[in-house]
């Protein structure tokens, strides 16, 4: 277990993504994954009010509802660290104070809990003054409905501005950044954004940690893989991607672990990264993810992966 940055949240080294719950995983399959994750010592679950509004017939909130039903049926809310988000649900967009208040109350109802451990601004809202947004988050913390807040999908400039706004107004600060970052997608984070995270004492929780499944190694030249994410993973199947897979294969064989575990271990070892976020649609996918928790890559292995993916 690790301490999440400057917070007092003690979390598992792998954050379980809940984006698939209510999308590619029905409630029964989701319960199996959640049970297995908890049985392995997992306690950190990431979701959002917007998951999974894009599915025909869904409205959003399906993932939260499944997680809430699971915690209620297992009686384990106090042993779980729950992160959710606001601003991206089609019927409740932006970060105006009234939106945050309604979104939070709706999330608490679906999650069947009285507080959220980590509450994110899912996407930035340039139309709302940051002081109003952060004032609303600060009030939610003072009301006991939220323990810590985080930013997701922010630019370096907007994240720094938000932190400065919190400091100048005495509001709670964002403690973490959730961002797109993995072995094949490094440019968005490495640089100014990572510098802001590091210089302000934040930590990063990367999503798309496995590049829509590409970094599990199941997408190969000439292979045909069906699934909701196959198209997204296929765009990495080029000369660079194949070179990365070759190095992953070699390191995975040396440690007798999955390519998935090596990909996540590289990410977890990067400066400022606290825990990667990864999801499992079915229980059979979970062991490969959990292997990363006991895997420590050597400096030369980390350097080799960094060099081939530059």
CATH of the domain at 59: 3.20.20.100
pLDDT computed for residue 179 by the predictor: 96
Q: How far apart are CA 276 and CA 193, in angstroms?
A: 17
Q: Which one, of 183, 186, 232, 179, lies nearest residue 207 by Cα?
A: 179
Structure tokens at 59: 């409205």
Greatest alpha-carbon pair distance for the chain in Å reads 56
Task: Kindly report, residue by residue over 189-222, the tens digit of the pLDDT.
Answer: 999 999 999 999 999 999 999 998 999 998 776 6
pLDDT computed for residue 218 by the predictor: 87
CB 209 within 8 A of CB 263: yes
Q: What is the CA radius of gyration of the chain?
A: 19
Measured CA angle at 274 (ends 209, 39), to 5 deg: 80
Cα four-point dihedral sign 260, 227, 47, 280:
negative
- Three-state DSSP state, 155: coil
Q: How far apart are CA 8 and CA 63, in angstroms?
A: 25
Strand 146-152 with 174-180, pairing: parallel
pLDDT computed for residue 228 by the predictor: 55
CB 61 within 8 A of CB 110: yes
Domain residues for the domain of 290 are 2-308
pLDDT computed for residue 233 by the predictor: 72
Tell me the catalytic residues: 51
Backbone angles phi, psi at 163, to 5 degrees: -65, -40
Strand 146-152 with 116-121, pairing: parallel
pLDDT computed for residue 231 by the predictor: 63
pLDDT computed for residue 223 by the predictor: 62
pLDDT computed for residue 178 by the predictor: 98
Backbone angles phi, psi at 294, to 5 degrees: -110, 10
CB 260 within 8 A of CB 210: yes
CB 24 within 8 A of CB 276: no
For the entire predicted model, the pTM comes to 0.94
Total number of domains in the chain: 1
Task: Kindly report, residue by residue over 248-286, the tens digit of the pLDDT.
Answer: 999 999 999 999 999 999 999 999 999 999 999 999 999
Residues in the chain predicted with pLDDT less than 50, given as ranges, are none
Q: How far apart are CA 201 and CA 5, in angstroms?
A: 7
């Amino acid at each position: 277990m690790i301490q999440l940055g400057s917070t007092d949240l003690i979390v598992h080294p792998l954050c379980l993504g809940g984006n698939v719950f209510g999308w590619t995983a029905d409630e029964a399959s989701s319960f199996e994954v959640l049970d297995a994750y908890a049985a392995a010592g997992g306690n950190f679950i990431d979701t959002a009010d917007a998951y999974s509004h894009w599915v025909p017939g869904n409205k959003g909130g399906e993932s939260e509802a499944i997680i809430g039903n699971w915690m209620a049926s297992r009686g384990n809310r106090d042993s779980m660290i729950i992160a959710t988000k606001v601003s991206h649900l089609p019927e409740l967009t932006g970060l105006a104070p009234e939106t945050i208040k309604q979104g939070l109350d709706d999330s608490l109802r679906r999650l069947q809990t009285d507080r959220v451990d980590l509450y994110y601004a899912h996407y930035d809202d340039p139309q709302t003054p940051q002081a109003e947004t952060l004032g609303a988050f600060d009030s939610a913390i003072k009301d006991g409905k939220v323990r810590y807040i985080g930013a997701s999908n922010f630019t370096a400039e907007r994240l720094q501005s938000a932190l400065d706004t919190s400091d100048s107004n005495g509001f709670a600060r964002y403690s973490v950044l959730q961002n797109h970052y993995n072995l094949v997608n490094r440019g968005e984070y490495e640089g100014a954004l990572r510098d802001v995270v590091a210089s302000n004492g934040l930590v990063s929780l990367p999503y798309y940690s496995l590049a829509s499944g590409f970094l599990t190694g199941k997408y190969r030249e000439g292979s045909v893989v069906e699934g909701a994410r196959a198209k997204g993973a296929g765009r990495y199947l080029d000369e660079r991607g194949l070179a990365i897979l070759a190095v992953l294969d070699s390191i995975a064989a040396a440690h007798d672990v999955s390519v998935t575990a090596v990909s996540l271990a590289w990410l977890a070892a990067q400066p400022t990264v606290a825990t990667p976020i990864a999801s499992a649609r079915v229980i059979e996918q979970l062991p490969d993810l959990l292997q990363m928790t006991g895997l420590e890559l050597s400096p030369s292995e980390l350097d080799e992966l960094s060099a081939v993916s530059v």
